[in-house]
Amino acid sequence: MTTPLPNPAPVRRSCLTAAAKRAAIVASILLPIFTPSALAQPMRDRSPSTPPPGAVSLDLAGELELGILIDLISDRLGINIVSSSQAESKKIRIRAPESIPDAALMSLLELSLRTHDLILAPAGDDHWFTILDSKDLLKLRVRRTPGQ
């Protein structure tokens, strides 16, 4: 005769929205960078895990949604990025053992988008960008070809 298993604990559902979860992750990445004690320390006294000013440390385990990376780069560089929820839900992996300078963040975003056949296109002035599917861009280019 077997003994019945006890009922498992009820599953707690998170009441946070996807946007709130993203904001929490971005804040957990950015807050250590901007704390007064981190900014007051000279470079030689900083621990190896604290990035230098003008750089960001991405200590990520596992997969990351593109939307989180988009939020981080948009906030860090002060640029506006328009994207679809479909693009933001795509997953990537980033392995960066050293801090990434702010000057390299746009390249990181473009490389990450390329893994899913997406591109970052300027949209108006220097502070607005949009994320497009590369196949859609080819369709637009074909339609604009003179003589067709």
- The DSSP bridge pattern shows strands 100-101 and 91-92 to be unpaired
The answer to whether residue 132 is domain-embedded is yes
Report DSSP state, residue 137: H
For 94-111, the pLDDT digits (tens) are 888 888 888 999 999 999
Look up the CATH number of the domain holding residue 90. 3.55.50.30
Residue 133 tokens, joined: 């599917």
Q: Is residue 6 part of a domain?
A: no
Span 49-85, pLDDT tens digits: 677 787 877 766 678 899 999 999 999 999 999 999 9
Q: Above 50 in pLDDT, residue 43?
A: no
What own/partner pairs with CB < 8 Å and gap ≥ 24 does 42-51 have? 51/99, 51/100
Q: Name the domain count of the chain.
A: 1
- Residue of 21, 19, 49, 22 lying closest to 33 (CA atoms): 49
Rounded to two decimals, the pTM is 0.58
Residue 10 lies in a domain: no
Do the domain assignments include residue 9?
no
Through-space distance between the first and last CA atoms of the chain, rounded to whole angstroms: 79
**If pLDDT is split at 50, 70 and 90, which confidence band does 123 have?**
confident
Residue 139, domain extent: 18-41+52-143
| Average confidence (pLDDT) over 7-14 | 51
For residue 24, which amino acid is it? Answer: A
What was the pLDDT predicted at 42?
44
Does residue 2 lie within any of the structural domains? no
